[in-house]
Structure 1
Amino acid sequence: MIAYFLLVHRFPEQFKRMFQAIYAPGNIYLIHIDRNSGKALAQELEAFLAPYQGVEILPARRVLWGGYSLVEAELRGMRRLLEMDAGWTHFINLSGQDFPLKSQGYIRDYLSAHPNTQFMRCADQLAIRPDTMNRVSHLFIEVFRRIFRTRIARAFPRGATPFIGTQWKVVSRRFCEFACHDPLTARFKRFYKRSFIADEGFFQTLLMNGFPQGDVVDDDLRTIDWVPDGDIKLRPRTFTRRDATRLTLSPDLFARKFDMNEDREIFDLLEHHLASSAASNFNPLGDRCVVERGMTIARTSSGMGDSVSAG
């Protein structure tokens, strides 16, 4: 069983198509609707979701891009999903602008083949992304819905290594239990509350500085094209029907991002693809997730990690 956590802040019709594409009886689904999006969106989605079993809406709170509120929303989501059902084995987070590339049967079989593996983009922040260390090197504060960096420098938690990646992940139930309830995580929660873009580093740092079980694959199982975008160094390019062949041939489970206002046809093409054998039949002999999809991150005995190529 899979537990989905869905973050939605706009495009209700697009969300509905995505939800119908990932819905399967037996899974559970928790939806977070950004309170900044207004009551109309929340009411429309509540009415749409009402007939579905195993679905719940998380009480709304405002989310600020770059702030710790994104991490807190996900921790709230993990805690609630753990309470909702004791049977699920994997947690997947998606935005309302994502779309599956594989059927739910395929995804369940894939995750069953990797029961103790955490799929998350994960890199040593100082060694690989030193340009982002300013996110954690100083104290940040939120004032009037804006985030400001102070002049107060601070050291990273003693004995730990900062890691960085993306917000997106496929992780085990045990990792969610660890992130939500283990006392070892408390110091990282305190630290990242005063950082910038915590959602791209907090969970990676937890994973590589204390979580004891399973393997880590440096991959979020998403097809994403990162392109330059002004002051924001990279943003995900919007996929259109011109990308259909690439997406249907992708080994990934999901893709992002999509915009129905820009191109509706890509949704028709992907929905047709999901009914095909290529999207439905997982072949363990063809599974190349570790060798060709990324790197396995090995831990030292201290719990601090190094990235080593699996191939």
Structure 2
Amino acid sequence: IRLGLRQIKSGTKASHSPTDQALHFRGAQCAIRAGSPTAKGNFNPSSAQQLRALKSGRQPLTPADYLNLTADCARYRARRRFMQVALSEEEAAFPLAFSMVIHDQLELFERLLRALYAPQNVYCVHVDAKAPADFLQAVRALAACFPNVFVASRLERVVYASWSRLQADLNCMEDLLRRPEPWRYLLNTCGTDFPLKTNAEIVRALQVLRGRNNMESEQPSAIKRQRWRYQHQVSETGTVVRTSVTKSPPPLGSAEMFTGNAYIVVTRDFVRHVLESPEAQRLLAWAQDTYSPDEHVWATLQRLPGVPGSLPPNNKYQLSDMNALARLVKWQYLEGDIMRGAPYPPCTGTHRHAICIYGLGDLPWMLQQQHLLANKFDLSVDEQAVQCLEEHLRHQALFGPGS
């Protein structure tokens, strides 16, 4: 930590090798000011073009690079500047668990892990069974350098919008409950996420919940109800398709279905309940042939009476994605002028499946939000967005807010 402090203060670098280019919190063009036009939601498109031009053009690190880097774990941890001690007694007393579901973008995953890493926490990494062998080998080598990072014991062939995505998190949940770390809350992540808060800020946000879970959970639209009204199956082309077979009603008695997204912040007791409760297991079994079950299973469990950390089903307790803590996502069709009623300003990066892949110009506004993490990032779209978030978070962690 002292070394990191000296280097951040002085701006010096310990190495200039290609594999070190992503290690350092350089600070160039990374000023994030709360009063900037971007933060107010009035970002100039011409400025966005200038910011995109700041991309380094550096090629991401490869599996072979990581196998070389992790050959000496002590050197790797120091060289890649992972936090080696808890930064406060408060954080040490409130360990967290992370389920990390990934399939590509190895360097982005490692930088996500580094941004979230603290020695008192525990991290389960689920690698898609379809991922290349060298990718999995590199992830295993990376995980082996930390006593609290491991690859899930069962790996699924993950298909977008299918049951396999939720099963990947369930596999990590089972593994995490068997771990010795006394973690309090679980947060699930994917390989295109990045945190907006330091570990200390995450801990304080979770302490305020006082044992409640936090996730999007709202009454479903008529379109969303179609996702569980008919059976769905994975086609030969690897996509989820709807069949003409009508499903039986959900096994909830008089309780209702709710909808949300795949991202959750849940207590240890919630995880144990999901894996052990007959009621929860019936819902999980029923949902396996629905479309994108992770977007209604978690949201429904969150509103069932008796589920640890849940909220009542009454409409007063509905929570939208923008009011939940779990994840900040910008949908293309909702972007616009905040002063004219849009929920968020235009994306300064690009879009994929109508979701913003953030650019550097998105950061000032994003850092004013309460969300713990954001989705999506891509080093090939704008590495500076990730670089500047890394710098900001490390500075906040070491020096405190407002420094």
**Short-chain TM bin:** 0.7 to 0.9
Aligned residues: 278
Could you say what secondary structure the match of 1:222 adopts? coil
One-letter code aligned to 2:230: H
Which residue of structure 1 lines up, in the alignment, with residue 222 of structure 2? 130
Cα deviation for residue 146 of structure 1 reads 3.7
Output the CA distance in 2 between the equivalents of 1:122 and 1:280: 36
Relative distance call for 1:248 and 1:150 in structure 2 (3 A) is closer
Candidates 142, 147, 161, aligned match of 2:240: 147
Output the CA distance in 2 between the equivalents of 1:178 and 1:46: 29
Which residue of structure 2 lines up, in the alignment, with residue 225 of structure 1? 330
Which residue of structure 2 lines up, in the alignment, with residue 237 of structure 1? 356
Question: Would you identify which runs of 4 or more consecutive aligned residues in structure 1 move more than 6 Å?
Answer: none
Relative distance call for 1:264 and 1:142 in structure 2 (3 A) is closer
One-letter code aligned to 2:364: T
Alignment of 1:267-278 (within 5 A): 267-277=386-396
Cα deviation for residue 6 of structure 1 reads 0.3
Could you say what secondary structure the match of 1:136 adopts? helix
Output the CA distance in 1 between the equivalents of 2:206 and 2:366: 20
Alignment of 1:148-297 (within 5 A): 148-154=241-247, 155-157=249-251, 158-214=253-309, 216=311, 218=319, 219-228=324-333, 235-277=354-396
Relative distance call for 1:151 and 1:280 in structure 2 (3 A) is farther
Output the CA distance in 1 between the equivalents of 2:235 and 2:227: 17
Is residue 116–residue 215 contact of structure 1 (8 Å, CA) maintained in 2? no
Cα deviation for residue 282 of structure 1 reads 8.0
Relative distance call for 1:11 and 1:277 in structure 2 (3 A) is closer
1:56 equivalent to 2:123? Answer: no
Output the CA distance in 2 between the equivalents of 1:75 and 1:211: 20
Is residue 101–residue 279 contact of structure 1 (8 Å, CA) maintained in 2? no
Is residue 196–residue 393 contact of structure 2 (8 Å, CA) maintained in 1? yes
Output the CA distance in 1 between the equivalents of 2:175 and 2:305: 23
Output the CA distance in 2 between the equivalents of 1:186 and 1:207: 14
Question: When the two structures are superposed, what TM-score results if normalisation uses the length of structure 1?
Answer: 0.82
**Residues 112-171 of structure 1 deviation map (CA, whole Å, 9 limit, x = unaligned):** 22231111100112xxx2111111111223343343322222333332311111000111
Relative distance call for 1:111 and 1:22 in structure 2 (3 A) is same
Relative distance call for 1:103 and 1:280 in structure 2 (3 A) is farther
Could you say what secondary structure the match of 1:187 adopts? helix
5+ residue gaps, structure 1: 284-311
Relative distance call for 1:186 and 1:280 in structure 2 (3 A) is farther
Output the CA distance in 2 between the equivalents of 1:278 and 1:83: 30
Cα deviation for residue 100 of structure 1 reads 1.0
**Residues 52-83 of structure 1 deviation map (CA, whole Å, 9 limit, x = unaligned):** 12111013220111111112111111111011
Output the CA distance in 1 between the equivalents of 2:166 and 2:117: 25
Could you say what secondary structure the match of 1:176 adopts? helix
Is residue 96–residue 186 contact of structure 2 (8 Å, CA) maintained in 1? yes
Which residue of structure 2 lines up, in the alignment, with residue 71 of structure 1? 166
Output the CA distance in 2 between the equivalents of 1:133 and 1:207: 17
Is residue 186–residue 267 contact of structure 2 (8 Å, CA) maintained in 1? yes
Which residue of structure 1 lines up, in the alignment, with residue 205 of structure 2? 110
Relative distance call for 1:113 and 1:31 in structure 2 (3 A) is same
Cα deviation for residue 86 of structure 1 reads 5.4
Relative distance call for 1:246 and 1:96 in structure 2 (3 A) is same
Question: When the two structures are superposed, what TM-score results if normalisation uses the length of structure 2?
Answer: 0.64
Relative distance call for 1:142 and 1:7 in structure 2 (3 A) is same
Is residue 12–residue 41 contact of structure 1 (8 Å, CA) maintained in 2? yes
Which residue of structure 1 lines up, in the alignment, with residue 348 of structure 2? none
One-letter code aligned to 2:204: D
Output the CA distance in 2 between the equivalents of 1:234 and 1:97: 13
Output the CA distance in 2 between the equivalents of 1:206 and 1:278: 34
Is residue 363–residue 385 contact of structure 2 (8 Å, CA) maintained in 1? yes
Relative distance call for 1:187 and 1:279 in structure 2 (3 A) is farther
Which residue of structure 1 lines up, in the alignment, with residue 18 of structure 2? none
Which residue of structure 1 lines up, in the alignment, with residue 187 of structure 2? 92
One-letter code aligned to 2:121: N
Question: Considering only CA atoms, is the larger Rg found in Structure 1 or Structure 2?
Answer: 2
Relative distance call for 1:211 and 1:228 in structure 2 (3 A) is farther
Which residue of structure 2 lines up, in the alignment, with residue 296 of structure 1? none
Is residue 103–residue 279 contact of structure 1 (8 Å, CA) maintained in 2? no
Is residue 200–residue 397 contact of structure 2 (8 Å, CA) maintained in 1? no
Is residue 99–residue 126 contact of structure 2 (8 Å, CA) maintained in 1? yes
**Residues 3-24 of structure 1 deviation map (CA, whole Å, 9 limit, x = unaligned):** 0000111100111111111100
Output the CA distance in 2 between the equivalents of 1:255 and 1:245: 13
